[in-house]
Structure 1
């Protein structure tokens, strides 16, 4: 029996949570022991993943729920709010790490990070990159933007450990370059903030009812051109709600058709769209006669036929 979207989300999130706890404890502990501020910052980043994991575990109970009387369009915006929370948390963590790094910049370290710190950073890179790839596969399986955002949270943790590893090994070989540890922590900050923006921006666009996909209109027009019963399609609008897209447009047919024939054409076209576009979950079609008063794309003429 195949797993439901909620089961996939929970499994991926719990696996990530266990890994995050272990890595955070190791990196913070080794960072304190060896005097690596960059490794401590990286460990705090790992702990921040636990908060986003909790948000996803709670939020997934709501955004996967079916439409009801109070939410006729479904609960997808709960996923949007979860993404905003993840993005804002990442930004806050990044700014906090950056501030601490700037304050420590130029100050002599209490100790020179050794090979133990380097080993901890390398382990983090390997584990988090593996988590990123696996979680991304799970996100694509169920088309979950929140799980996709969490996958990238894993990737930022892997990437942020890379400058830490470089700084630690260089600092170990050349102790006079102790400032590299603080520089690496600032690089971690930049990576975290970049990931925060990439998660926040699409979610904010969704809340402002921005177009869901710039390619949707082109695809709909192509599908309509391939259907001999459809004369014209215009006023195509799309909006995103979580990981799904809602679509509506005007469809023009031969005015000599009966209402029943026009309805059948629109229902067949709707089914075709739902099969072709995985993210689209609902389509509202406004049927109009192909007359001079209703045409938008094609120029008007005396001939009311589609040819």
Structure 2
């Protein structure tokens, strides 16, 4: 299965999981008098929408290069990640506003059964996070990594809601708003996670130097090719789930142009064989006697 198919299949699972959990949270929060749980449901509903954005981004970014897009459409994935982050911030703002309104308004203590619902959600969401995060690492997908962080964020907010409801239930009168304070804290956690998602996507859009380990590996592989004396400049930029490499090679200055051309092709073939995520390599030949 290709990276594209793996990423898209994983996103479908995220969408299904978020739909079911959002419904469970909302029903439990409504009948259990817990706004923290309803806030959690709002976030899960947002996750459904953001997962659809991720799905669209993955499908578009996987389109092959064409005349107008010679480097492919991979940057669309990072742009979708920005949209997901924006939706996270909006969700956090709504949750914070509603939490403050509930803190100012007297209401009933949440029902005890909501604790069992939350405990189950924390476990399920953490499992989803680990699954999607593993797939994002396998496919080098920044938008899938954002989707994974949605699940981790959900697990954290559910854990905070569990703590808030526990305080409200076991501490008794005067602590009815504890779960609302938990929801307010959860909104700040969501914003923080949004930043963690936004930062690497921004680096990808700006072609920031982020791939030191890959550069070391590229130099090692190039050095094994016959005719390569050394490597000089090496730049790597990520586009979607693939990488584009600019590499300067030092070769014997007395060889012919055809021989230098052959060395460059052998280096490119070796790199793409060892690192399949590399979409293309642009190689510049430097003579060793300059």
Normalised TM-score (structure 1): 0.86
| Bigger shift: residues 257-266 or 41-50 | 257-266
Matched, 1:111 2:128: no
Does the CA-based 8 Å contact 1:66-1:75 persist in structure 2? yes
Identify the residue that residue 19 of structure 2 maps to in structure 1: 21
- Which one of 68, 73, 78 corresponds to residue 66 of structure 2? 68
Does the CA-based 8 Å contact 1:35-1:109 persist in structure 2? no
Identify the residue that residue 255 of structure 2 maps to in structure 1: 257
In 2: Cα distance, 1:274 partner to 1:187 partner: 47
In 2: Cα distance, 1:206 partner to 1:15 partner: 26
Identify the residue that residue 80 of structure 2 maps to in structure 1: 82
Shift of 1:254: 0.6
| Bigger shift: residues 277-286 or 217-226 | 217-226
- Which one of 169, 172, 176 corresponds to residue 166 of structure 2? 169
Describe the SS at the equivalent of 2:212.
Answer: coil
Give 1 or 2 for the bigger CA radius of gyration: 1
Shift of 1:108: 5.2
Q: What is the aligned-residue RMSD (CA, Å)?
A: 2.1
Shift of 1:225: 4.7
Shift of 1:276: 3.6
CA distance 1:122–1:5, change in 2 (3 Å): same
- Which one of 116, 119, 126 corresponds to residue 122 of structure 1? 119
Does the CA-based 8 Å contact 1:249-1:284 persist in structure 2? yes
Does the CA-based 8 Å contact 1:168-1:181 persist in structure 2? yes
| Bigger shift: residues 6-15 or 162-171 | 6-15
Alignment of 1:155-234 (within 5 A): 155-175=152-172, 176-227=174-225, 229-234=227-232
What is the number of equivalent residue pairs in this alignment? 289
Gaps of 5+ in 1: 293-307
CA distance 1:206–1:116, change in 2 (3 Å): same
Gaps of 5+ in 2: none
Identify the residue that residue 272 of structure 2 maps to in structure 1: 274
Shift of 1:278: 4.5
Identify the residue that residue 285 of structure 2 maps to in structure 1: 287
Shift of 1:212: 4.0
Shift of 1:228: 6.0
